C-alpha cells in the first residue's frame, strides 16, 4: 500500500447530549472535564482540544503543534487543580454528611 499524502478526515457526531461539567480555556487550547459515576465513587476525566478557524467555520482538533504545547501544559495544570479541588470538596461533603449531630465531643 502506497501513501499518497492524502489525509482523510471523518467527522463522527456524538450520540449523546452529555456536556462537560467544567471547561478550562487559554487562547485556542481547551480542556473539557467530564464527571463519571463509578462503583468506587466519582471519577473525572479530561479531554483536550485546539480550536481553529477554517474559512468562516470554527473547528477543533486533538492535534497540537510545538507552539501549542506550553499552553496545553498550563491548561492541563489548571484542569488538574480544578479536579483536585472538586475531589476535596466531595470528600468534605461526604465526611460532613456521615457525621451525626452529637458525635462531636
CB atoms < 10 A from the CB of 37, how many?
A: 8
Segments in the chain forming alpha helices (H) = 69-98
Domains of the chain by residue range: 22-96
Backbone angles phi, psi at 30, to 5 degrees: -135, 145
> What are the CA-CA distances from residue 56 to residues 9, 49, 64 (Å)?
18, 19, 21
State the residue for C-alpha cell 499524502: 5
Of all residues in the chain, what percent carry a pLDDT higher than 90? 66
> Residue 8 above 50 pLDDT?
no
Q: List Cβ<8 Å contacts ≥24 apart for 40-44.
A: 41/90, 42/87, 42/90, 44/83, 44/86, 44/87
Query: What average pLDDT does the segment 13-22 reach?
Result: 74
pLDDT band at 69 (very low <50, low <70, confident <90, very high): very high
Query: What average pLDDT does the segment 61-85 reach?
Result: 98
Q: Global pTM?
A: 0.74
CA distance 78 to 82: 6
Q: Is 30 helix (H, G, I), strand (E, B) or coil?
A: strand
Amino acid at each position: 500500500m502506497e501513501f499518497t499524502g492524502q489525509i482523510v478526515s471523518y467527522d463522527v457526531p456524538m450520540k449523546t447530549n452529555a456536556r462537560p461539567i467544567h471547561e478550562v480555556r487559554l487562547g485556542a487550547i481547551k480542556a473539557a472535564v467530564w464527571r463519571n459515576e463509578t462503583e468506587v465513587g466519582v471519577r473525572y476525566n479530561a479531554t483536550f482540544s485546539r480550536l481553529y478557524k477554517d474559512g468562516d467555520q470554527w473547528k477543533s482538533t486533538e492535534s497540537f503543534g510545538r507552539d501549542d504545547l506550553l499552553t496545553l501544559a498550563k491548561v492541563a495544570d489548571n484542569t488538574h487543580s480544578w479536579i483536585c479541588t472538586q475531589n476535596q470538596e466531595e470528600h468534605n461533603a461526604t465526611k460532613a454528611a456521615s457525621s451525626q449531630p452529637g458525635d462531636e465531643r
